[in-house]
Structure 1
Amino acid sequence: MPRILLFLALFHSLFLSLPAAARPADPPRRLVLIDDDVIGLNGVPALLLQVPDVEVLGITTTSGSVWRDTATAHALRTLELTGKPNVPVVPGAVYPLLNSREQVIRWEGMYGRLVFKGPWTDYWPGDTIQEHPGVTDPADVPDLSYGNPSIKASDEIAALFLIRMARRYPGQVTLFATGPMTNIALALSLDPEFARNIKELVYMGGSLNPRQHLSNPSADQFAREFVNSPRREFNIRWDPEAARIMAHAPWRRITMIPVDPSTGTQWTRGFLDSLGSAPNPLTGALARSIAVGFPMWDELAAMVWLEPGIVTKRDTLYVDFETSMTAGYGDTLSWTEAYRPKLGEQAQDVVLEVDRERMEAAMRALYTRPIAGGGKR
């Protein structure tokens, strides 16, 4: 046997004989749960699934921007494209805890039109670039522009799955909430220890005082809706009662990404074209499916956690949400320590501004990574 082969064989034998504690340790994996009204490849799942040291324990889906079953289809297809078909997708809430289409119509008759109502949207006030996604039947799942999934969702219930994972890994899981908070509120109501078992909650929702930051017409579309209603944001407005339950829970740590920093970001054709230098099933699908002009809403939640250095302005605020059936239903409430009412609201790390170029560079690096197993086109 050549000397080099003999050496390798001896080294392998000695390595296996070492006790586990003496062997080089694998880098610790960051455990993640994603709760989302997945509307396409733009969002948290497509980014976190590409991070080598992040283990996505599962994706729970809820209605919000689209109905739950459509969100589930998007989540399943994302798993195929990123080569992670074994990550469970668990369907959750179809409807908010109390809010309803009829209630929204009644509210609008008293207080004025909402800009976006998810699948309840009937038309867009003003000359907006968006197309309304209103769908009457929650079970009506349209064909996806980047291909329909062939894998199936779990038959478990989302809230129970969240509780089970939090109990299995107490104090180790980061929970991303980038849609309405209905599943999370149900989990909190079923298990009083759920919040304490979660390491950190990172959520995209709420609004403080957004302003236009990009000088182009499409960016203005997504800033001007806040001029007269700066505290209203869709993820919260879809299910304000669930958001309030979330805000009062005893989380170990809460990071809030409100709408405010999103008006300084935007999907552009230039960014999407830059992904073509390293083509894979994910970048190809992104190029075909992403609507240019939209802010990078949920991507902010992922990137603030993955690359904290992109945050250029943040604050600590106590946050709650309005649930009285008045003009402010679903609005964000916030205070500093000295002014808070002390009615159970929690301190939150609130992200206000980010470095857009640095964020896009980090996103590009993740999207263009090789796909595990090649992915499924």
Structure 2
Amino acid sequence: MSKKLILDVDTGIDDALAIAYAVHSPELELLGITTTFGNISVEEATRNSLILLEKLGVEAPVVSGAHKPYARELFKPYSRHIHGEDGIGNQLKEAPSHQAAPGDAADFIIGQACRYEGKLTLVAVGPLTNLAIALDRCPELPKLLDRLIIMGGAVTVRGNVTEAAEANIYADPEAAAYVLGAGFPLTLVGLDVTMQTLLPQHDVDKWREQGTELGKFMADMTDFYMEAYRNFRPGIAGCALHDPLAVGLAIDSSFVQTRPMRIAVEVGDSPEVGRTREVQNEHEAQALPSVDVALEVDAERFLRHFLSRVV
């Protein structure tokens, strides 16, 4: 029986790859996509998600969510230098033919969690604002989910926005601290493992060689991401599959090895704002729940699985 899935995205390029991976995985039933600001604005993330679903030939509700952080004004610039002016590698040709579903993301998450109590997997691959708002409205939400999988953080490695912080956590550190401290059955999939999941250029070229509209779109979009990696992370042979790995864990948790940790998020005006750190102090640790932090990944096996399904 397929797992019930919600994807919470800030639809840039690796979000788009994650959506395609989820749609093409029979183990998952995509109940809907919720969107937030992050790589681009929430309005653009919603538009891009609708476009992706149309190109994939599937129907699922896309519900718009937060347009700014939970407890502060927007302070992280959008990542257009990484994902393109439109968020999908400058491949936007026309508006989607469908519209976003009514309502907002937090209410959609709560409604589906209540409907499928104990059976819903939520994969969050953007800032965690929608989840923080949902927690305010439904404090029992952590008990309703089967699993929350978060692409975010850098517990044992350096960040990718600052030396200390990963982009999704940095974009809304207060929301991240709230969600990580709420007691969800939670797997944190951060740069500790995602930077090892490199998609080679020759595999992207194969998508274009298929001669399909979808293959060309996905290849042209990912080429922009590849070029960004060449410019900003020279020496890395490919682009990291950050968000797809989080989806991969919803399919097969054995792609990674985890260790239970108590994780604090630096908030406020800290010079290390957005840092995700393991709490060693026993007194501080008592106030935090344990979460499963991915520390090792079978990158080759995951990559083969991803490539067998994404296009």
Give the TM-score normalised by the residue count of structure 2.
Answer: 0.86
Offset, 1:54 = 1.3
1:293-312 aligned at under 5 Å gives the runs 293=229, 294-311=239-256
RMSD, aligned CA: 2.6
1:7 alignment counterpart: none
1:25 alignment counterpart: none
Contact 1:36 1:179 survives alignment (8 Å) = yes
1:37-116 aligned at under 5 Å gives the runs 37-40=10-13, 42-85=16-59, 87-101=60-74, 104=75
1:141-180 aligned at under 5 Å gives the runs 145=91, 147-148=93-94, 149-180=96-127
- Note closer, same or farther for the CA distance 1:58–1:159 as it changes in structure 2 (3 Å cut): same
1-side partners of 2:286 and 2:168: how far apart?
23
Offset, 1:150 = 1.5
Q: Greater CA radius of gyration, 1 or 2?
A: 1
2-side partners of 1:82 and 1:256: how far apart?
28
How many residues align? The count is 296
Offset, 1:263 = 2.0
1:251-290 aligned at under 5 Å gives the runs 251=184, 253-276=185-208, 278=210, 280-290=212-222
- Note closer, same or farther for the CA distance 1:249–1:280 as it changes in structure 2 (3 Å cut): farther
Give the aligned residue type for 1:39.
Answer: G
SS at match of 1:145: coil
1:125 alignment counterpart: none
Give the aligned residue type for 1:100.
Answer: E
1:371 alignment counterpart: none
2:275 alignment counterpart: 331
2-side partners of 1:280 and 1:146: how far apart?
17
Give the aligned residue type for 1:297.
Answer: H
1:16 alignment counterpart: none
SS at match of 1:90: strand
Give the aligned residue type for 1:275.
Answer: W
Contact 1:318 1:340 survives alignment (8 Å) = no
2-side partners of 1:66 and 1:91: how far apart?
13
2:175 alignment counterpart: 242
SS at match of 1:99: coil
2:235 alignment counterpart: none
**Unaligned ranges ≥5, structure 2:** 230-238
**Unaligned ranges ≥5, structure 1:** 1-27, 105-116, 122-129, 212-222, 369-377
Q: Deviations over 1:172-224 (max 9, x none)?
A: 1000010000000000000111121111000001112327xxxxxxxxxxx8x
- Identity between Structure 1 and Structure 2 (%): 29
Offset, 1:328 = 2.1
2-side partners of 1:49 and 1:133: how far apart?
21
- Note closer, same or farther for the CA distance 1:79–1:68 as it changes in structure 2 (3 Å cut): same
1-side partners of 2:194 and 2:287: how far apart?
28
Give the aligned residue type for 2:37.
Answer: S
> Of residues 111, 115, 130 in structure 2, which corresponds to 1:183?
130
SS at match of 1:346: coil
Give the TM-score normalised by the residue count of structure 1.
Answer: 0.72
Offset, 1:274 = 3.1
